[in-house]
Amino acid sequence: MKSLVIYSPYDCIVKYNNQEDFLDQNQHLIINGVDVIYVYPIGKTKRYSFAIDMKNNENQFYTILERNDKYLVFLLDGLYSQNIDIYNFKNNNTSSTIEISSQSVTFSTGKHKKIISLTATPKKITCGNFSFIDYCLIENLDNSTLIAYNVKTNKAKQFKGKDIKLLDKGFMVSRVSSFYEKIDEEYYVDNDGLKIKNKSHILSEQSYPNELLPYRFMSAVKCGDTSQFNKLLSPKLLEKISEEDIKNYFGNIEYFYMIDYKTCFAISEKEQVLYEFIVDNDKIAEIIDNKN
């Protein structure tokens, strides 16, 4: 294996093959016969440790070049290696900014700042605004995420989908979920904020065993498919409650997990609840919870 020469613009500790060396700023270190090297930057500047993988010749922390009989590894100072794109907007008397780096999206006004970390390098990023809602559309190969930031309230909300399209005064989120082949949600901005305009559901035509009835019901609640309530609840239960009652009872479900076929743990914006479903004649006859 070729020898490695590591050049660093900052002081750091280099670990490899149970060995540890100190590398001074603007100096170099020669290493032989290793595949992975761990670098621990030190000093007053906030930096993060990282690994050098010889199979990955370029990322935000280092660049590897092959020359003659050596590999030259150049550690990169974050101030120089990270490009930041800045977008400025103004709504009435409020100015706002979106800053995009390889690691995060930062929304800010003169009074507030909100930083959202990125888990992977996006394929494409588009920034813009709808009135007082700034947005950042992050597109990857298999999915997309739109982050909407309200400059008045300093609140951000993420929308995820298989595909997200920008419209004249809003956006459309298309996604798949559990028993649905496709769910389309159209959002727009009015004087009160971001709101949903239209929502459509396309159910899978596949047949499911009776044991999945509570799971199908919770999926419908989470997706806001009120048309399924009448089909999954018993006539006697529907006499007692309305669609609006169901939405108020469960709230906006953010996450749910089926513990078994009749027991579900769910998290909404209001609370964390354990639900138990009683099924009779292929319908949900009763819903029991652990609420106080």
Mean pLDDT of 150-176: 91
Q: Is residue 278 domain-resident?
A: yes
| C-alpha to C-alpha distance for 61 and 51, rounded to whole angstroms | 9
Residue 206 has pLDDT above 50, yes or no: yes
Q: Is residue 44 domain-resident?
A: yes
Domain count, the chain: 3
Count other Cβ atoms within 10 Å, centred on residue 285.
14
Mean pLDDT of 119-147: 88
Q: Which two tokens stand for residue 282?
A: 């292929």
Do 166 and 237 belong to one domain?
Answer: no
Do 36 and 102 belong to one domain?
Answer: no
* Residues 6+ positions from 55 with CB-CB distance below 8 Å: 35
Instruction: For residue 270, name the pLDDT band (cuts at 50, 70, 90).
Output: low
Do 141 and 212 belong to one domain?
Answer: no
43 or 189, which is more confident?
Answer: 189
| CB 219, CB 179: distance < 8 Å | yes
What residue type is assigned to position 275 of the chain? Y
Do 12 and 73 belong to one domain?
Answer: yes
45-54, 74-83, 132-141 — which one is most confidently predicted on average? Answer: 132-141
What residue type is assigned to position 107 of the chain? F
Domain of 107, in residue numbers: 85-197
Q: Is residue 161 domain-resident?
A: yes
Q: Is residue 137 domain-resident?
A: yes
Do 164 and 109 belong to one domain?
Answer: yes
| CB 270, CB 203: distance < 8 Å | no
| C-alpha to C-alpha distance for 216 and 199, rounded to whole angstroms | 18
Closest CA to 251 of 225, 265, 269: 269
Residue ending a domain, choose from 79, 109, 129: 79
**Res 106: pLDDT:** 92
Instruction: For residue 78, name the pLDDT band (cuts at 50, 70, 90).
Output: low
Do 49 and 118 belong to one domain?
Answer: no
Do 106 and 129 belong to one domain?
Answer: yes
Mean pLDDT of 229-240: 90
| C-alpha to C-alpha distance for 148 and 136, rounded to whole angstroms | 7
Residue ending a domain, choose from 197, 215, 236: 197
pTM exceeds 0.85 for this model: no
167: three-class secondary structure by DSSP: coil
Q: Is residue 246 domain-resident?
A: yes
Instruction: For residue 43, name the pLDDT band (cuts at 50, 70, 90).
Output: low
Q: Is residue 149 domain-resident?
A: yes
Do 186 and 246 belong to one domain?
Answer: no
Q: Is residue 202 domain-resident?
A: no
Do 217 and 269 belong to one domain?
Answer: yes
Q: Which two tokens stand for residue 248?
A: 């108020």
Residue 5 has pLDDT above 60, yes or no: yes
Question: Residue 140 gets which letter from DSSP?
Answer: -
Residue 100 has pLDDT above 70, yes or no: yes
Do 112 and 192 belong to one domain?
Answer: yes
Residue ending a domain, choose from 29, 44, 79: 79
